[in-house]
Structure 1
């Protein structure tokens, strides 16, 4: 299995003390240094090209983000939660490029699955707006690349981050060849993700109440999400792998643990075997308790490797 990352993703920093911090990626990569992960093939993520970015984001937005390169030590705030330092533009390009390279490797038959250990996350970035710590909509870019470069007709993004992926939804909601299914806490930031938001029949939102537990999470996926994915029959599955639904996470109130993330990963891979030849690309999204993030990401990657 392929693991993609890049040092630039550690150099991006929003602000001192911000929860979306470089230590998040350090914690994940340290966890993946364990002996059980020694067979992972590790590669550096390339930068996404303008053509790849502009399949989701209009040129003026790409220009804006790539033009923000403040001097070392300074930052530019994009909203109350999201900012860029001297390294953020490259980090965002590498994060999106990791998804593209993972799609190339998986759709090209080199690897059956890939995990992108990158930041900033992407699923809140709408086509024309950075928000929620996110600059480019990396999972959506990966999905569009699979269609444009590899002829994959139908791509599904499955999102178990505790926050709704409003950016992915905004990129997908008018295109029936793309499918988004999301379980997330509601009410919670960003305030989207109601079950009534269905796009053109290609969006499935399954909100979870605050303090929902593992059995509730499994029911949402077993009863609603996984059957819908199977009916959609994607040629590729992209996972928005956020681990902030863990009970230790400070930004939400869902009570999952590592076992739930391993279970849902195995279940997704099982559907992938029946619909997409087992092809799965996973991209790191949220997760803000470092211990929980490291353990959960390790459980997720282990399940991907064993699928």
Structure 2
């Protein structure tokens, strides 16, 4: 497994550009990065302007200049409750754009969140959710095929539900596997978020073994089991021994990709590089098998 991180750890526009984030993370030791285009989809951002492709090319050049490759990205999150045509159209446009940007950078997999909505949560409701998601992602899959990018469906958590929607679709491994298998497409796989799984109270070793070869990417993060805190390993309560053992047991061929922005980017800027370096060394420690001696 290669050690990777989302560029979001350095996200601080306009003070830190994407190119600067890439170069700083490379200097720390990261040679593989997650292109966090989702965080750049805000009014006034170069990612949403007419010249967005130039912005993507600049990021690509910055990566090549320091010997870095991009391994994954993230589609923007859709709001299934949104009914305003203009906003929904903009959401869809930016989702397609994120896939195209990933293709421009040679990113093999882009993370996606399934749609979820309230219901009885019986088999009929789960079947409807699966079909709604197959329909929703169909046009994005066509864009992904053209771009040479795979859609990696991410495990979520029931803690993300609101009001009467007491659950969140794909919070369980069974739902996630069922959805991905229903696509029956080589460009649809699974991305495992260790923080979401911990919020859900899952046995991550068992879940990862069930997912097996469907696993294409990771969001590695820790939390206290109550909030999705996006912390570095060992700052929360995730069972890292169980996670690492399972990744090796299934011969996972992807990367160990951090999503730990809350650990780094809230620090004063002069301290961020040092924090990122500690995160890199922690990943080296985990991948060397030293987790066997850890205590949570």
Q: TM-score scaled to structure 2, two decimals?
A: 0.41
Q: Return the structure number with greater helix share.
A: 2
Larger radius of gyration: 2
